[in-house]
Amino acid sequence: MIWFSALVLIPLVAVVVTAIDGGWTVFWNTITNGQTMSAIKLTVFTAAGVTLVNVIMGPLIAWVLVRDRFWGKSVLEVMIDIPFALPTIVAGLVLLSLYGNADSPLGIDIANERPAVFLAFLFVTLPFVVRMVQPVLEELELDVEEAAASLGASRMTTFRRIILPSLTPAIAAGAALSFARGVSEYGSLVLLSGNLPFKTEVTSVRILSSIENDNVAAAAAVATVLLAISLAVIVLLDVLQRRVAARG
Amino acid sequence: MSIEVRGLNKKFGDFVALEDVNVSIPTGQLTALLGPSGGGKSTLLRIIAGLEKGDSGTVNIEGVDATHLPAQKRNVGFVFQHYAVFKHMTVAKNVAFGLEIRKRPKDEIAHRVDELLKLVHLSQFSHRLPSQLSGGQRQRMALARALAVEPSVLLLDEPFGALDAKVRKELRDWLRRLHDDVHVTTVFVTHDQEEALEVADEIVVVNEGRVEQVGTPDELYDEPANDFVMSFLGEVTHLGGVSLRPHDIELDTRPRLAGGVEGTVSRMVRIGFEVRLTVLTVDGDEVSVVITRTHARSYGLEEGSTVWLTPADGATVIPRMVAAS
């Protein structure tokens, strides 16, 4: 508990206190500021969208890794973790060189565009759901699926009523992580997105620029809003997960 | 005949799991597939259930050719060694699963689940999760779940294998009584000969992918077709060129009967009312003999005593085919 307090609670409280210290007007002015609002919107919606993609693709990738046998499987297994291991700024460089200039080897140039933010989020959050679901899937006993089959359940029904409810806690946890990571992402997107106000500027960049302008209160205000949103999403996912698991 | 298996072959890579297996399983009876681990009995059961596919041969269930039917369409109840419970569902939901799939009316399902839970003595646990049940209770729940869909045959794969000895014995008796009530054609796999002898109406002995013998427990015990069946169903010893059970040897301290084999008691172990002797015969054989404590005391036996051994009248005796182990 002390450990948890020192590492998590005290810094979080400090942020909120700093935000309040600046006074209510400063807080309100900061977050209703058009540029800030636009940054918050972009960050939250993109993170939500990316999380949605991960919720669908993550279990699929995990399924392939656990159930299928194919050439190069162990290589893929390692590759999944690369977005974890890579310093995010390096990830940003990689993305920039692939998708970010006129002579891109893939012929795609999305530098300074909103899809750049989406792509950067997607890249860094890919492993979360996969890695949460994989061990659960590995532990799922085959005879449970066979039992369902012998009771007359089709593959689809077995998946929907037996496999999915067992996976939802893991998917929800992965989704929460993926969303939180998306909201806080900085390194991988600063290069590719160009940080254009009202267009591709995300909240983490906004916070940094506030601090650089010596406006700590404004930075803390934005941070507090992000904190509240993240908390709400985590609670929401937990409720959702309980619902799905109970429906079984 | 409820289940007819003809010319069934199954290989896993190079390993031959089943070789030209032919079995007929009678309707309404409790049949045991008995044999050592890795002998192919579970594979045979899984092929009957449609959970595994044979390489060649046919499976016929209740007159319907089921060889190419998927498991979902066979109307077979299957009970697994490790229960295979649906962890996130309550006991009642587990039992109701097969009926819900069949889209039965809600009140009919509730009624049937009630009935089944009563049958397996789990009524008061209907709202618990499987993780809150003991192993024996879980297996009873799995049995109720399998029975819910009114299967034409009930298949149990080592159903009591994961339970401790006491619960195992209780459930075994209970299964026998349940079968007498429900009368569904039942096949269960076991490697425990006592379990098979005690519970089954008929036993199919499976070894190394082949059926060694089919018969009632008495037939198998009294007239084993070969050395393997004989040794698998109980202890076997060898005396003067024949195989027989250690308790079917008559022992005397004088050469009273013709054909008696002379030997010396080399080891004597008493377990409750019985005494187990190892006798070294003059032919150089080591023979196990089991006699009662009273018997041993009346002869004043001790290690080193000289005795004469003869097969008892009415003993199950078959010519010795393999070297003494």
Q: What CATH number did the domain enclosing A89 receive?
A: 1.10.3720.10
B182: domain CATH number is 3.40.50.300
Q: What is the mean pLDDT of chain A?
A: 84
CA–CA separation, A236 vs B276, rounded Å? 70
Position B218 in a domain: yes
SS3 sequence of chain A: CHHHHHHHHHHHHHHHHHHHHCCHHHHHHHHHCHHHHHHHHHHHHHHHHHHHHHHHHHHHHHHHHHHCCCCCHHHHHHHCCHHHHCCHHHHHHHHHHHHCCCCCCCCCCCCCCHHHHHHHHHHHHHHHHHHHHHHHHHHCCHHHHHHHHHCCCCHHHHHHHHHHHHHHHHHHHHHHHHHHHHHHCCHHHHHHHCCCCCCCCCHHHHHHHHHHCCCHHHHHHHHHHHHHHHHHHHHHHHHHHHHHHHHC
Question: Is B142 an 8 Å CB contact of chain A?
Answer: yes
**In this predicted model, what pLDDT tens digit does every residue of B103-129 receive, in sequence order?**
999 999 999 999 999 989 999 999 999
pLDDT tens digit string along A95-107?
888 887 766 667 6
Whether B286 and B188 map to the same domain: the answer is: no
Q: Is B169 on the interface with A (CB under 8 A)?
A: no
User: Where does a domain end: B206, B228, B250?
Assistant: B228
Residue B54 included in any domain: yes
Same domain assignment for residues B198 and B309 = no
CA atoms within 13 A on the CB side of B41: 25
For residue B214, the model assigns a pLDDT of 94
Q: Centre a 10 Å sphere on the Cβ of residue B289 and count the other Cβ atoms it contains.
A: 23
Q: Which two tokens mark A31?
A: 């977050």
Q: Which tens digit of pLDDT belongs to each residue from A200-210?
A: 888 888 888 88
* B32 domain-assigned: yes
pLDDT band at A19 (very low <50, low <70, confident <90, very high): confident
Q: What is the mean pLDDT of residues A124-143?
A: 89
Considering the domain architecture, whether residues B290 and B141 belong to the same structural domain is answered as no
pLDDT digit string, tens, across residues A139-166: 888 889 999 999 999 989 999 899 988 8
Tokens of B37: 């681990």
Q: What would the mean pLDDT of A224-237 be, rounded to a whole number? A: 86
Contacts of A4 (CB under 8 A, 6+ apart): none
Partners of A158 on chain B (C-beta within 8 Å) are none
Same structural domain for residues B241 and B221? no
B201 shares a domain with B57:
yes
- Asked if B77 and B155 sit in the same domain, the reply is yes
- Give me the residues of B, 12-71, that contact A with CB < 8 A: 49-51, 70-71
- List chain B residues with pLDDT less than 70: 321-325
Per the structure, how many domains does chain A have?
Answer: 1
What was the pLDDT predicted at B290?
92
Cα–Cα distance measured from residue A164 to residue A161, given in angstroms and rounded to the nearest whole number: 6
Picking from B200, B228, B256, the residue at the C-terminal end of a domain is B228
Interface test mutation site (partner A, options B76, B85, B101, B187, max chain A beta carbons within 10 A): B101
Assess whether B212 and B282 both reside in one domain. Answer: no
B283 in the same domain as B167:
no
Q: What percent of chain A has pLDDT over 70?
A: 96
Confidence of residue A49 (pLDDT cuts 50, 70, 90): very high
| Contact call for B74 and A150, based on CB within 8 A | yes
Tell me which of B56 and A35 has the higher pLDDT.
B56
Domain-located, residue B80:
yes
Q: Within a domain: residue B324?
A: no
Determine the Cα–Cα distance for residues A210 and B135; give it in Å rounded to an integer: 61
B77 touches chain A (CB under 8 A): yes
pLDDT score of A218 more than 50: yes
pLDDT (0 to 100) of residue A6 = 80
Q: Are residues B130 and B258 in the same domain?
A: no
**Same structural domain, B92 and B214:** yes
Indicate whether B240 and B224 sit together in one domain. Answer: no
The pLDDT of residue B325: 43
**Which domain, by its residues, includes A192?**
2-247
Same domain, B247 and B191: no
Interface residues from chain A to B (CB-CB < 8 Å): 141, 143-144, 146-154, 157, 161-162, 165-166, 245, 248
Tens digits of per-residue pLDDT, A59-93?
A: 999 999 888 888 888 888 888 888 878 888 888 88
- Which residue among B74, B82, B149 sits closest to A143, beta carbon to beta carbon? B82
Number of independent structural domains in chain B: 2
The Cα of A157 is separated from the nearest Cα of chain B by a number of Å equal to: 8
Kind of pairing, strands B3-12 and B15-25?
A: antiparallel
Domain of B43 in residue numbering reads as: 3-228
Last residue of a domain, one of B195, B228, B261: B228
For residue B84, being part of any structural domain is answered with: yes
Asked if B86 lies within 8 A of A151 by C-beta distance, the reply is no
Contact A153 B146 (CB under 8 A): no
B325 lies in some domain: no
The complex's ipTM works out to 0.81
User: Of the candidates B115, B141, B147, B110, which has an alpha carbon nearest to the alpha carbon of residue B128?
Assistant: B141
pLDDT given at position A198: 81
pLDDT at A240 > cutoff 90: no
Q: Is residue B207 part of a domain?
A: yes
